[in-house]
């Protein structure tokens, strides 16, 4: 029997989640799912991600590979500039597939990310990392007017021009932006930069599987066709299944039922550093999609076992408004390392010959048992591996789950009106200081 790419276990959230409660939610889940299929839900102008993976992307893949080849041929470093959905999916995917230290371990072009903060020290560190190496820029923005990436792009573009001259610098810039208009689009046309398109009907936090994420992945050597194939398989598994067998239904329903039971903070728990930034992507997806009324879940992330030595105390004995969703890799045997041999095992004789994965599995089981006894329900998501295919599958799973979850709460999953508040205040302060 073929192993499933993804499984969901809600046993450690019983009795807050049970078959009777799930069945009672089925009509609402069906209506939410149907509204996505029919394009009648709130925010329906931004449903391009829903069937994106099954579209014919042969030309897109050729365009991305052509841009990636040009970048790799002339640059040892690519600086990717973006914020939010224009940054998190790309960097999260790189770490998910290739690991936290991919830049130190790769023979491919290194990829660094900027434009997601206003930190002079962070920008300086990237300059030092580039050093005398040749570099290129991928700037990602639909409009080109978001302050953080616009400033970072201007900064690194200036370095590029000073180093190579205007003509050569223009050959080292790729703009991922709107197809027809906007400040960044117009700059790209004027300077004849390489251009890739951010689809009009896909919002930033749903855009990881578009050019936004695919170009950095391609430059880093990730199989982008495999990532799209994984998302396509997830679409086939979940989009046409209007039943409680659908894992996206069950996850969305589980979150809803736990919220009704007073669990209004969800911690996405990972045990692998390579999934840390994936957790940040998940956090943006759910936080920005659902955070538009007071009665919603606050999403956060934990990296275990590290955080067991800090926030683990709060989880065990603090206020009982938290539930955990554990995202775990079902590792391949080839990835296993032996912890201890005979010579180094005097203090831990019971671990002689055991693998690191074995110990991690025991730590995970013990944590879930202890937290459950302490009143913290736990959902368990197990993904088969950290391949590009699994990355695409998991991205789509969470995107569809998030849309359904938001619709259960009568929230538009695809807008973010509150984000504009800080932008307005920031621009007012900046302009008043002129």
DSSP states along 406-424: HHHTT--TT--TTHHHHHH
pLDDT confidence of residue 1: 45
Check for a shared fold between 6-40+228-408 and 52-222. yes
**Three-class secondary structure of residue 242 per DSSP:** coil
Instruction: List, for residues 49-59, the tens digit of each pLDDT value.
Output: 999 999 999 99
Sign, CA torsion 358/361/367/370? negative
Instruction: Give catalytic residue positions.
Output: 288, 309, 423
CATH of domain 52-222: 3.40.50.10490
pLDDT score for 297: 98
**Residue 142 contacts residue 182 (beta carbons within 8 Å):** yes
Dihedral angle at the C-alpha atoms of 205, 207, 209, 211, nearest 10 degrees?
A: -140
Among the four given CATH numbers 3.90.380.10, 3.20.190.10, 3.40.50.10490, 3.90.1170.50, the one describing domain 6-40+228-408: 3.40.50.10490
pLDDT in tens, the chain (434 residues): 457 899 999 999 999 999 999 999 999 999 999 999 999 999 999 999 999 999 999 999 999 999 999 999 999 999 999 999 999 999 999 999 999 999 999 899 999 999 999 999 999 999 999 999 999 999 999 988 899 999 999 999 999 999 999 999 999 999 999 999 999 999 999 999 999 999 999 999 999 999 999 999 999 999 999 999 999 999 999 999 999 999 999 999 999 999 999 999 999 999 999 999 999 999 999 999 999 988 999 999 999 999 999 999 999 999 999 999 999 999 765 567 888 777 666 677 888 888 888 889 999 999 999 999 999 999 999 999 999 999 999 999 999 999 999 999 999 999 988 877 777 887 787 788 76
Going from N- to C-terminal start, the domains of the chain cover 6-40+228-408, 52-222
Rounded Cα distance between 125 and 156, Å, is: 12
pTM, two decimals, is 0.96
Please state whether 131 falls in left (phi above 0), alpha (psi between -120 and 50) or beta.
Answer: left
The predicted pLDDT at position 334 comes to 58
pLDDT of amino acid 15: 94
């Amino acid at each position: 029997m073929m192993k499933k790419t993804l499984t969901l276990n809600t046993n450690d959230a019983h009795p807050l989640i049970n078959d009777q409660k799930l069945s009672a939610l089925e009509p609402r889940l069906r209506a939410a799912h149907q509204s996505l299929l029919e394009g009648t839900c709130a925010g329906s102008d931004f449903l391009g991600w829903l069937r994106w993976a099954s579209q014919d992307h042969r030309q897109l893949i050729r365009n991305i590979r052509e841009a990636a080849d040009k970048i790799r041929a002339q640059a040892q470093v690519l600086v990717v500039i973006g914020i939010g959905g224009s940054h998190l999916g790309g960097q999260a995917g790189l770490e998910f597939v290739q690991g936290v230290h991919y830049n130190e371990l790769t023979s491919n072009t290194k990829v660094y990310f900027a434009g997601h903060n206003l930190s002079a020290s962070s920008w300086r560190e990237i300059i030092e990392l580039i050093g005398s190496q040749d570099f290129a820029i991928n700037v990602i923005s639909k409009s080109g007017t978001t302050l953080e990436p616009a400033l970072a792009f201007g900064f690194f573009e200036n370095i590029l021009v000073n180093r190579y001259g205007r003509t050569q610098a223009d050959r080292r810039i790729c703009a991922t932006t709107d197809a027809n208009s906007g400040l960044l689009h117009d700059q790209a046309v004027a300077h004849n930069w390489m251009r890739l398109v951010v689809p009009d009907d896909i919002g930033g936090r749903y855009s990881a599987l578009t050019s936004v994420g695919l170009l950095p992945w391609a430059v880093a050597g990730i199989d982008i066709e495999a990532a799209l194939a994984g998302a396509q398989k997830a679409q086939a598994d979940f989009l046409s299944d209007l039943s409680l067998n659908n894992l996206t239904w069950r996850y969305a329903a589980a979150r809803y039922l736990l919220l009704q039971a007073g669990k209004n903070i969800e911690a996405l728990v990972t045990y692998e550093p390579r999934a840390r930034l994936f957790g940040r992507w998940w956090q943006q997806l759910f936080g920005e999609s659902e955070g538009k009324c007071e009665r919603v879940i606050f999403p956060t992330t934990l990296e275990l076992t590290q955080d067991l030595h800090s926030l683990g105390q709060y989880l065990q004995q603090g206020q009982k408004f938290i539930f955990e969703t554990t995202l775990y890799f079902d590792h391949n045997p080839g990835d296993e390392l032996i912890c201890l041999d005979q010579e180094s095992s005097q203090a831990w004789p019971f671990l002689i010959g055991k693998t690191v994965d074995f110990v991690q599995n025991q730590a995970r089981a013990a944590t879930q048992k202890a937290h459950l006894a302490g009143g913290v329900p736990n959902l368990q998501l197990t993904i088969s591996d950290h391949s590009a295919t699994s990355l695409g599958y998991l991205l789509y799973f969470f995107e569809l789950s998030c849309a359904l979850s938001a619709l259960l709460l009568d929230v538009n999953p695809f807008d973010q009106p509150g984000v504009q508040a800080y932008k307005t205040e920031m621009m007012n302060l900046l302009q008043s200081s002129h």
